[in-house]
A and B are shown apart, each in its own frame.
Chain A
Amino acid sequence: MGTNQPLTLSRRNFLKVAGAAAAAGTGLIRPNSANSATPEAPSFESKYSVCDMCFNKCSLIARVRNGVVEKLDPNPKFHKSRGMLCARGNAGVRQLYDPDRLKSPLLRKGERGEGKWQRLTWDQALDHAAEQLLKIGEQYTRCGVMFMAGADMQSTFVHRFADVYGSYNKLSHESMCLIAGTRGFLDTFGEVPIPDMQYTKYVVMSGANRFEALVTPDSMDLMKAMAGGCKLVVLDPRYTKTAALAHEYFPVRPGTDMAVMLAFAHVLITEGLYDREFVEQKCYGIEQLAEHVKQYSPEWAEKECEIPAEAIRRIAREMAAAAPQAMIYPGRRSSNYRNSTQIRRAYAIVNALLGNWDRPGGLTAARMVGLKSPGYDAPFYESNPFERIDHGVAKLMFEEEGSLKIARDAVLREEPYPVKGFFTYKTNPMQTAANRSKTIEMIRKLDFMCTVDIVMSDTAWMADLVLPSQAAFERTDPCSAQQGSSACACVVMRDPVVSDPLFESKPVFWMMKELADRLDLGEYFDLSIEEYRKEQLRDLPGAMDALINDGVYYNPSKLYGVYEGRIFKTKTHKIELFNETYQQMGLDPLPVYESPTAPPKNQFRMVVGRTATITQSSSQNNSLLQEFEPENDLWIHPDSAAALGIHDGDPVTVSGKVGEQRIRARVTRRTRPDTVYMHTGYGVLSKGLSRLQGKGACIAQVLEDGLDEISGNMAMHETFVKITKEKKS
């Protein structure tokens, strides 16, 4: 077009322009004429690290560009995870860069839980903490401070600090998770077996949800085994995704799993299907067991568990046919019932009858990893009491884990002695311990509570002093040993992936060191993580090179037949079907079935569970994971809902003996008519979790805190609730 042309287009000129545009539109200005475009390779660095989104500790590769972690990929050389990274692992980037991260030490100014904070410098914060620890120590003895650390590669330093400070009162998260199962298997086999899922042919899974609550390598190996013909039978009051993918699913009546196991034992023994040679050589108490399970026929069990007798009989026979490559899956979280230790012992006994111990596709012994635990001699404090605060209630409590249930009651009663200090690291009992009101009450009894975390969890929200911890990718961490049956016996470690930790965050190791210095205990922390690792690896030449080059070190230790020529670490030196120690302690030497109380009319048993995008209470505020589970709802069966006039999506009140919550109903056939369910970790009190405000309900507020009196595990499936429809808001 000439410059003198009017600005209106003539028809002729328009066509010219349009033609050019059309030509453009049909390809002339495409990236290149051959229609092949290869983007430039991104110039990121790849660095090994270890995932921190749950307890599994999967080795991973961080892709870092300009000092920023852009993507996390699985480490293909890491067999324990089978070279995978789950949704939570992928969301680890969002954890690192979470705008909700704690930015500086904070001192409570208002009432507990009021959310008024004063920013402190690190010196101020540590001086204050040291002063409080000294004061409580002087007034109430050193055991007057309770320490609790979750699953973390630096938790060992919190325990070391507790030891040298002088408190026996060290707790882990495990008394709200797995210690009943650990106890039950330990008291049968003398150690806690690791299932060899990869080579198994038949799995009965009861009280576990392995395709949602991912455990490495069990979850992956089970799927692989199933592709190769392994059969999976799932017993669960909820229709989980594991149930949906199983070959057979039975909506077992909650709390009756032991009846099924005893009936399996009944069939295996009465029909002579158990591994006679194995049991004769390696087990103690088959006669007593045979006599004991006579009463527990499949027909009897059917009335308890609502699984047809014919199916129980058939499954027992099928297991026997597949044995020793068959198993009752031991499971992990077993904080369910008052008798969970005995329930899990029944699982262990059926496994022993199948003769699957120490064999491919069965339950394998722990393999040698060879990592050392650098020791130290803690000072002795004369004024201290003789025992832990939670001593003497649960007959077989693990001293190294403790029992939050018992300890919390003891703090409240101030008996056997007062505990006035509480130090927590990376654990969130406000959300994970049943009966939240009681946890709050316990915290109100304290003179000083210090919480170390990366975000303002509900537990941090209740604390007096909150210290910002570094995220995993900012830290140098000790080595960590891992067991994976046929997958591996291995070691991982963590070096910083990013050079500058965000905000004023510090590793808890540094905090412990600084506090120890202030309490004249500096000699016990006169070490660096690098030196600590060297000690850990001192018997493993080449391990550090493997960790640097591959992100993982494997010990090619013996996997099967570990017990050949060896005795079992039990009193009778055999696998104890019948446990004499239990008998001497006044416990049932064989699991004795007690029928669980049925919920009263119009009430429901509440159960706890997980999904693949949720880790306890720590992942709900993650901006990526929240897209999958934005809030929780109450699962209720259509028949039960109809009887109460409740429709899908209705707001309801869930109320039990210890508390109530408002939540939306999800009317679904995925739960039994007598059972309701909600995810853990919502209904938060903390205003520091910006994406969770007003989202869902807190299950810990409703659950009663039952007690497994053998292990001290919290029993969280012992709650009956009423559901009431609310007016739509």
Chain B
Amino acid sequence: MKTQLAMVIDASRCWDCKACMAACKTANKVPEGQWRNWIKSVDLDLVEPGGGRLIFQPGNCMHCSEPLCIKACPTGATYRNEADGTVLINRELCIGCGQCLPACPYGARFRHAELRVADKCDFCAERRAAGLEPACVATCPTKARAFGNLADPESEVARLLKRNESVQLVQAKSPTDPNIRYLGNPGRTDWPVEAQMPSAFGFWKNVAGPVVKIFVGFSALGFGAMLAKQLFLPDHPEEDRQPEEKRHE
């Protein structure tokens, strides 16, 4: 049977306590100032106090079935793990060019400040190999997150989706078929942004067809330059599209 790992999140159960973010940071040794996951909310300062029940929306890499980040990656470092449907990054192959960062409508990717390669949620691959749930799922105080194989009708995620209405957060201009499903009303859905694909790549990949495999090679020089830049030049913070965390939230 095909495996598609997925998360089902009941945002109405989230109280914005940051346990998932702290657990993820520790489990995955994510550097200071960077995060593999987030909790989105409307800024409480902008809400009329008492204006109805609010919703906090936890999230992370959506391990999309149609990921644009893979298309943006010039080296094949970002790939889809056929065994379980997760989207992963091979750090050995990543040259830290940053092309994949704006290709993600959810801003799930960032350049790891210490390793200088692309980084994002991998559904805690190492923990799963040890038979543990992803850190954010295991730690969540309200059990707002469920995790499992969407393709298995007996799994908790499949059963939750069968019993409840659910939504995907889809960016209309950059649909990616994300594998995080939100139960009921996930709150704010307008934040994902249109993916920005590297233009040369888009052109060659879409227009030139099979010939692209040869011509992409031209970029080898570019890779070298990128690599040099990566190794010797300082980071440009504006390249990192970390999801904006509202102050205090």
Chain A residues in the interface with B (C-beta under 8 A) = 15, 17-27, 29-31, 34-42, 44, 70-74, 76, 81-82, 84-91, 93, 211-212, 214, 219-220, 223-224, 227, 239, 241-251, 612-613, 623-625, 627-628, 666, 668-670
- Which among B17, B79, B81, B138 is the interface contact of A214 at CB below 8 angstroms? B17
7 tightest Cβ-Cβ pairs between the two chains A and B: A18-B217, A36-B83, A22-B217, A21-B220, A90-B22, A612-B17, A84-B141
Closest to B49 in A: A239
> In the assembly, what is the distance between CA of A126 and CA of B201, in Å?
71
Closest to A248 in B: B50
Looking at the assembled complex, report how far the CB atom of B58 sits from the nearest CB atom of chain A, in whole angstroms.
13
Q: Are B141 and A27 in contact (CB under 8 A)?
A: no
Chain A contacts for B18, CB-based, 8 A: 87, 612-613, 628
Q: With A21-B223, A42-B126 given, is the CB distance from A73 to B90 under 8 Å? A: no
Chain A contacts for B54, CB-based, 8 A: 244-245
Interface residues of B in 1-42 (CB under 8 A from A): 10, 12-13, 15-19, 21-23, 25-27, 32-33
- The stretch from B59-67, B128-136, B148-156 touching chain A is B128-136
Closest to A76 in B: B138
Q: Are B83 and A22 in contact (CB under 8 A)?
A: no
- Which among A214, A242, A249 is the interface contact of B50 at CB below 8 angstroms? A249
Q: Are A15 and B217 in contact (CB under 8 A)?
A: yes
Q: Are A30 and B93 in contact (CB under 8 A)?
A: yes
Closest to B54 in A: A244
Looking at the assembled complex, report how far the CB atom of B34 sits from the nearest CB atom of chain A, in whole angstroms.
10
Looking at the assembled complex, report how far the CB atom of B1 sits from the nearest CB atom of chain A, in whole angstroms.
15
Chain A contacts for B126, CB-based, 8 A: 39-42
Looking at the assembled complex, report how far the CB atom of B73 sits from the nearest CB atom of chain A, in whole angstroms.
9
Looking at the assembled complex, report how far the CB atom of A95 sits from the nearest CB atom of chain B, in whole angstroms.
12
A-B contact count (CB 8 A): 199
> In the assembly, what is the distance between CA of A625 and CA of B143, in Å?
21
What are 22 A-B pairs with beta-carbon distances under 8 A? A15-B214, A15-B217, A20-B217, A21-B219, A22-B215, A22-B217, A23-B213, A25-B76, A37-B83, A37-B88, A39-B126, A73-B132, A82-B141, A85-B139, A91-B26, A211-B17, A223-B141, A242-B15, A245-B53, A251-B50, A613-B22, A624-B22
> In the assembly, what is the distance between CA of A613 and CA of B141, in Å?
13
The interface bits of chain B over 108-146 (1 if a CB of A lies within 8 angstroms of the residue's CB, else 0) are 000000000000000001110111100100111111000
> In the assembly, what is the distance between CA of A612 and CA of B22, in Å?
12
> In the assembly, what is the distance between CA of A239 and CA of B131, in Å?
41
Interface status of B45 (Cβ within 8 A of chain A): yes
Chain A contacts for B213, CB-based, 8 A: 19, 22-23, 26
> In the assembly, what is the distance between CA of A318 and CA of B4, in Å?
46
Q: Are B139 and A41 in contact (CB under 8 A)?
A: no
Chain A contacts for B129, CB-based, 8 A: 38-42
Q: Are B26 and A247 in contact (CB under 8 A)?
A: no
- B contact residues, range: 35 or more
Looking at the assembled complex, report how far the CB atom of B153 sits from the nearest CB atom of chain A, in whole angstroms.
22
Interface status of B44 (Cβ within 8 A of chain A): yes
Q: Are A669 and B49 in contact (CB under 8 A)?
A: yes
Interface status of B232 (Cβ within 8 A of chain A): no
Looking at the assembled complex, report how far the CB atom of A265 sits from the nearest CB atom of chain B, in whole angstroms.
24
Chain B contacts for A44, CB-based, 8 A: 130
Chain A contacts for B216, CB-based, 8 A: 22, 25-26
- Which among A31, A87, A223 is the interface contact of B90 at CB below 8 angstroms? A31
> In the assembly, what is the distance between CA of A21 and CA of B74, in Å?
11
- Which among B13, B27, B47, B84 is the interface contact of A223 at CB below 8 angstroms? B13
> In the assembly, what is the distance between CA of A39 and CA of B28, in Å?
13
Q: With A15-B214, A18-B220, A628-B18 given, is the CB distance from A90 to B23 under 8 Å? A: yes
Looking at the assembled complex, report how far the CB atom of A707 sits from the nearest CB atom of chain B, in whole angstroms.
32
Chain A contacts for B220, CB-based, 8 A: 17-18, 21-22, 25
Looking at the assembled complex, report how far the CB atom of B12 sits from the nearest CB atom of chain A, in whole angstroms.
7
Chain A contacts for B218, CB-based, 8 A: 18
> In the assembly, what is the distance between CA of A548 and CA of B75, in Å?
50
Chain B contacts for A628, CB-based, 8 A: 18, 21
> In the assembly, what is the distance between CA of A19 and CA of B130, in Å?
40
Q: Are A250 and B50 in contact (CB under 8 A)?
A: yes
Q: With A35-B81, A84-B19, A666-B248 given, is the CB distance from A71 to B27 under 8 Å? A: yes
Looking at the assembled complex, report how far the CB atom of A215 sits from the nearest CB atom of chain B, in whole angstroms.
11
> In the assembly, what is the distance between CA of A251 and CA of B19, in Å?
28
> In the assembly, what is the distance between CA of A566 and CA of B12, in Å?
42
> In the assembly, what is the distance between CA of A90 and CA of B90, in Å?
27
Q: Are A87 and B22 in contact (CB under 8 A)?
A: yes
Chain A contacts for B141, CB-based, 8 A: 81-82, 84, 86, 214, 219-220, 223
Closest to B131 in A: A41
> In the assembly, what is the distance between CA of A525 and CA of B48, in Å?
59
Looking at the assembled complex, report how far the CB atom of A34 sits from the nearest CB atom of chain B, in whole angstroms.
6
Q: Are A19 and B217 in contact (CB under 8 A)?
A: yes
Q: Are B22 and A625 in contact (CB under 8 A)?
A: yes
Interface status of B190 (Cβ within 8 A of chain A): no
Looking at the assembled complex, report how far the CB atom of A138 sits from the nearest CB atom of chain B, in whole angstroms.
50
Closest to A22 in B: B217
> In the assembly, what is the distance between CA of A576 and CA of B26, in Å?
50
Looking at the assembled complex, report how far the CB atom of A646 sits from the nearest CB atom of chain B, in whole angstroms.
15
Closest to A627 in B: B32
> In the assembly, what is the distance between CA of A42 and CA of B129, in Å?
8
Interface status of B80 (Cβ within 8 A of chain A): yes
Looking at the assembled complex, report how far the CB atom of B95 sits from the nearest CB atom of chain A, in whole angstroms.
10
Closest to B213 in A: A22
> In the assembly, what is the distance between CA of A84 and CA of B17, in Å?
12
Q: Are A25 and B82 in contact (CB under 8 A)?
A: no
Q: With A19-B217, A29-B93, A90-B139 given, is the CB distance from A241 to B223 under 8 Å? A: no
Chain A contacts for B82, CB-based, 8 A: 34-36
Q: Are B15 and A670 in contact (CB under 8 A)?
A: no
> In the assembly, what is the distance between CA of A702 and CA of B54, in Å?
33
Looking at the assembled complex, report how far the CB atom of A655 sits from the nearest CB atom of chain B, in whole angstroms.
24
Chain B contacts for A214, CB-based, 8 A: 17, 141
Chain A contacts for B75, CB-based, 8 A: 24-25
Q: With A31-B90, A35-B81, A93-B26 given, is the CB distance from A73 to B135 under 8 Å? A: yes
Q: Are B140 and A84 in contact (CB under 8 A)?
A: yes
Additional 15 contacts, C-beta under 8 A, given A26-B213, A245-B54: A17-B217, A17-B220, A22-B215, A24-B75, A25-B216, A30-B76, A39-B129, A74-B139, A85-B23, A86-B17, A87-B21, A623-B32, A624-B26, A627-B33, A628-B21
Q: Are B53 and A246 in contact (CB under 8 A)?
A: yes
Chain B contacts for A23, CB-based, 8 A: 213
> In the assembly, what is the distance between CA of A81 and CA of B142, in Å?
10
> In the assembly, what is the distance between CA of A91 and CA of B88, in Å?
26
Chain A contacts for B15, CB-based, 8 A: 211-212, 219, 223, 241-242, 245, 612
> In the assembly, what is the distance between CA of A72 and CA of B19, in Å?
12
Looking at the assembled complex, report how far the CB atom of A659 sits from the nearest CB atom of chain B, in whole angstroms.
25
